[in-house]
Chain A
Amino acid sequence: MKRLLLILALMLATAPAIAQNKPLPTDSIYHLDVQFTDQAGHTQPLAARRGRPQLVTMLYTSCQMVCPLIIDSLRQTWKTLDAGDRSRIDLLAVSFDPERDTVAALRAYAAKRQLVAPPWTLARTKAGDVRQLSGVLGLQYRQLPDGEFNHSSELILLDAEGRIVARTTRMGRADPGMVAAIRQTLAGKQR
């Protein structure tokens, strides 16, 4: 009986892993073979985010202009959700500037802006992977000679399988269209 329980427990524990073994949808951004390192210094493949919807953006922490607004927009969008929904979505901000956005810089920025994990992940990738990630997310960026970046500012919603299901350029407040898309995505997952 004890053994049976153990086997049952093991089966339950491995069930999510089995669910992840089904092939990725062909339009999932998790086909991209890139790794990221978070503000705690943990390195993971991007595809490790599979399984939960993600609200994703790209920015750089030394940016004084629109980037604080991007963080505000993520925060406000998340706060608009009810408590149950909030616990079922992650917020992921990846840096355009891996040179200056070291793990220490990400950690300092998270502390300054009170971005606690979960739901917040601030991340950096290798320099070459930034262009790949921006490409798959449809974001543009350009480094200027003074070290600043021109870049598009968008929030992008990924479903649990890594498909882009919504995006918004509205910054500074929650975009009602995005909030509705998040609720719909989370509701879809419950079915």
Chain B
Amino acid sequence: MCLRHVLAWIGMALALPAAAADYAALPGGQFASVIPADGKAARATIAPFRLRTEPVTNGEFLAFVKTHPRWRRDQVASVLADQRYLSHWAGPVELGKDVLPRQPVTRVSWFAAQAYCASEGARLPSWYEWEYAAAADATRRDARKDPAWREDLLAWYSRPSSAPLPVIGGRPNVYGVRDIVHPVWEWADDFNALLVASDSRDQNDPDVLKFCGAGAVSLQEKENYAVLMRVAMLSALKAADTTNNVGFRCAKP
């Protein structure tokens, strides 16, 4: 009986990822997002949550597709991930010599990212959670007014998208979260909630009926355009889309 228990435990331990991912606790609270909570000016309320300290890597995602074959690139349904899904890997379960295990994984769809996080007992962070975590620097929770923080965010745009991604391991911010602004952009759970469709802006436009309730969202913190560009990019994506530079990390309550 005892032996069976031990064996069961070993089996469970083997089924878990090789090294459990680290999560940092973030306190949450009121947060002035670029996207007002009510579509006008209200601050967002963020409950305390935990965030993965690092983005998910190629190595981790490879282990995931090996245990969840429906997410292999040769088996995934096209409705859940587009043609370019994991196309930088050498094979369906092989990274190849040009793809490093410690690089953040990219070319993953929102559905695939969701499924990975679920396998870790987690979920994708909301946009507010991501924006809140990314607002910190090494010493401050909200460094957004500091030109150095903005320059750091903008520096991302000057990196050619064809250049190989660096491996992760950047300097942690005040929460212990790393690599959130560089080197990849990240999926948000509510990526399709940001509602900045240009055709929803004009109240006299018949297309305003596309959106129920208050209609268009009025963006805030307009000087913070490095963040707004990320909103625009996420809003333009569909859940099955994959791109060269969008990866993800996971969150937990």
Residues of B within 8 A of A66 (CB): 209, 211-212
Query: A29 interface residue, CB < 8 Å from B?
Result: yes
Query: B251 interface residue, CB < 8 Å from A?
Result: no
Chain A residues engaging chain B, CB cutoff 8 angstroms:
24, 26-29, 31-32, 59, 63, 65-67, 69, 128, 131-132, 134-136, 138-146, 148-154, 169, 171-172
Residues of B within 8 A of A172 (CB): 209
Residues of A within 8 A of B11 (CB): none
Residues 183 to 214 of chain B near chain A (Cβ within 8 Å) = 189-190, 192-195, 197, 207, 209-214
Please name the residue on chain B nearest to A154 by beta carbon.
B210
Given A24-B77, A27-B79, A128-B123, decide whether A145 and B239 contact each other with a Cβ distance below 8 A.
Answer: no
Chain B residues engaging chain A, CB cutoff 8 angstroms:
37-39, 42, 45, 77-80, 110-111, 114, 123, 189-190, 192-195, 197, 207, 209-215, 217, 238-240
Contact B77 A132 (CB under 8 A): no
Residues of B within 8 A of A154 (CB): 210
Given A32-B79, A169-B207, decide whether A135 and B111 contact each other with a Cβ distance below 8 A.
Answer: yes
Contact A150 B214 (CB under 8 A): yes
Contact A144 B213 (CB under 8 A): yes
Given A135-B239, A145-B37, A150-B215, decide whether A26 and B79 contact each other with a Cβ distance below 8 A.
Answer: yes
Given A136-B239, A138-B238, A144-B38, decide whether A65 and B78 contact each other with a Cβ distance below 8 A.
Answer: no
Contact B79 A28 (CB under 8 A): yes
Q: Knowing that A27-B77, A32-B80, A67-B212 touch, tell me 14 more A-B residue pairs with CB under 8 angstroms.
A: A24-B77, A63-B213, A66-B209, A128-B123, A135-B111, A135-B238, A140-B193, A141-B192, A142-B190, A144-B39, A148-B214, A150-B212, A169-B207, A169-B209
Contact B80 A131 (CB under 8 A): no
Least CB distance, B235 to chain A, in whole angstroms: 8
Residues of B within 8 A of A142 (CB): 190, 193-195, 217
Residues of A within 8 A of B79 (CB): 26-29, 31-32, 136
A140 CB contact (under 8 Å) in B39, B192, B207: B192
A141 CB contact (under 8 Å) in B38, B193, B214: B193
Contact A145 B209 (CB under 8 A): no
Least CB distance, A133 to chain B, in whole angstroms: 10
Residues of A within 8 A of B217 (CB): 142, 150
- Cα of A75 to Cα of B192 in the assembled complex, Å: 27
Contact A146 B38 (CB under 8 A): yes
Residues of A within 8 A of B77 (CB): 24, 26-28, 31
Report the 6 A-B pairs with minimum CB-CB distance, sorted nearest first: A135-B239, A31-B77, A142-B193, A66-B212, A26-B78, A148-B213
- Cα of A143 to Cα of B239 in the assembled complex, Å: 19
Residues of A within 8 A of B238 (CB): 135, 138
Residues of A within 8 A of B189 (CB): 131
